[in-house]
Amino acid sequence: MRDVEYQSLDGLGLADLLARKEVTSEELMACAIGLAKTRGAALNALCYERYEESLAVARDWTPRGAFGGIPFLLKDSGVAHVRFPSSLGSRLLNDTTYARNATLPERFEAAGLIPFARTTVPEFCMAPTTEAARNGGPTLNPWDPTRSSGGSSGGAAAAVACGVVPVAHGSDGGGSIRIPAAACGVYGLKTSRGRVPMGPFRGEGWGSLATDGVLSRTVRDSAAALDAIGGYETGAPYAAPLAPDSYLDAIKRAPGRLRIAVWRQAWNDIPVAPECVAAVDRVAALLRAAGHEVVDSAPPEIDYDALVLAHANVLASNIVVSVDTRLGLTGKALADDDLEPAMRNGYEYGKTITGAQYIGCINRFHAVGRALEAYMQDYDIILTPSLTQLPPKLGYLTMQEGTFMELRRKVGRYGTFSAIFNATGQPAASLPGAWTEAGLPVGVQLVGRFGREDLVLQLSAQLEQVQPWAHRIAQPG
């Protein structure tokens, strides 16, 4: 199979070729690995490559699931897989190995997704950019190598955008699927709390903020992936509302006439770039033309600064747990170069957070969730900018200087429309809403009521029909 044909198809399209025996999993894997060595390497998007081993796995693969047996990438987020060590982008956690797989990669492989490498992340997955020192430099935006690819699933978004794979694993604890999806011009859905399993080695991530999923070039690939990985896991502390029989079948139907709130401004008068507002305006017009009731609205009143602080405190507390657990296992003291400066500061700051403060953070998330759910009684969907600015230049969100809280305040002014929906647990997706004259993607976000991934996916598919984006494949080099 030639690269151009491989890249012209989404995951389900490749699966169809497999089902018709027009191609083998090994041939697809060879294409993906070739692209990984060129385009993926040019962007510094991959780590823990297992090329020869994965070719052998593909050669002996028995077709299964919706995707049959296509190449796939796991995020370097610590999700356990026996074939792939992990680092979470940290020199301290480098080459962590696992004795057994977590539930999620088992479900990925049952769906016919064959991993062959991991994708790069910022240290501890705690930034909306992917510039980890552990990876020897930043992961570049495939549309402009001077800019950020987003984070923390920056490697995954870059790899999908440049056609290494049509779909890749991501996770989202504050926008980590949606931010890189916006920065790289691909589709990224954050599911409802409890929809996707996180076990069996942990019950929740970051105080219930985090969830796993995928980034893809097409909505139908994300729908098929959610069909495969979604569903309650025995012993999980959270459960999402009952899902439809098939998200993939659901997106074949129009969503009906929806009442959609449009947000153009952010809390605390945080500025929103005109390109981001224009993308929202463009999509709002498309939605009106499709027959939906589109209503200009202001975001509900919340204490946004308190939310930013709560999010930062939960992250800092998790740094302490990660670092101290590693040090306890190795019996070593923390070395000066084990952590990047902002994360080292976050570790020291995290040790000052009391149990009462941590509980206050969780209560803050719950209060925000109730406020948003009350607001959404009048709406089916919220349309927002994905980001307040275009992807920033590399170095703006660096962890190499400044304090942890200085970084978090910058994040709060960039990913303003992201972390709030981790606090509420609502499903939210970023999709390409427009492109600048310079060729940069501009994302917009669709947010649904808790448990209504079906509506978010249906509306995303409707927009995809009228303004397709999957044909846009970056060509770094």
DSSP H helices, 1-111, are: 3-8, 11-19, 25-35, 41-43, 51-59, 103-110
| Closest CA relative to residue 383, chosen from 470, 314, 297, 300 | 297
Task: Check: CB of residue 449 under 8 Å from CB of residue 242.
Answer: no
Give the sheet arrangement for strand 259-262, strand by strand. 167-172, 211-216, 187-190, 428-435, 441-448, 381-385, 259-262, 293-296
Q: Tell me the C-alpha distance between 128 and 222, whole Å.
A: 21
Q: Tell me the C-alpha distance between 468 and 447, whole Å.
A: 20
pLDDT computed for residue 476 by the predictor? 86
Whole-model pTM above 0.75?
yes
Question: Per-residue pLDDT tens for 46-58?
Answer: 999 999 999 999 9
Q: What SS3 state is found at 63?
A: coil
H or E segment at 413? helix 404-414
Q: What is the DSSP pairing of strand 428-435 with strand 187-190?
A: antiparallel
Q: Tell me the C-alpha distance between 347 and 349, whole Å.
A: 5
Strand runs labelled E in 63-190: 70-75, 113-119, 140-141, 144-148, 167-172, 187-190
pLDDT computed for residue 327 by the predictor? 98
Q: Tell me the C-alpha distance between 74 and 474, whole Å.
A: 21
| Closest CA relative to residue 280, chosen from 446, 458, 456, 471 | 446
Q: How many CB atoms lie within 10 A of CB 457?
A: 27
CATH topology of domain 3-466: Amidase signature (AS) enzymes (3.90.1300)
- Residue extents of the structural domains in the chain: 3-466
Residues across the chain: 477
Q: How many CB atoms lie within 10 A of CB 289?
A: 10
Question: Per-residue pLDDT tens for 145-187?
Answer: 999 999 999 999 999 999 999 999 999 999 999 999 999 999 9
Q: Which residues are catalytic, by number? A: 75, 152, 176
Q: Tell me the C-alpha distance between 261 and 335, whole Å.
A: 50
The parts of the chain modelled with pLDDT lower than 50 are: none
| Closest CA relative to residue 381, chosen from 432, 453, 291 | 453
Omega before residue 246 within 30° of 0, cis: no
CA of residue 130 relative to chain centroid, distance: 12
Q: Tell me the C-alpha distance between 241 and 451, whole Å.
A: 5
pLDDT computed for residue 84 by the predictor? 98
For 112-147, give one letter per residue: b (16+ CB within 10 A) or e: bbbbbbbbbbbbbbbbbbbbbbbbeebbbbbbbeeb
Q: Which residue's entry shows tokens 């931010």?
A: 179
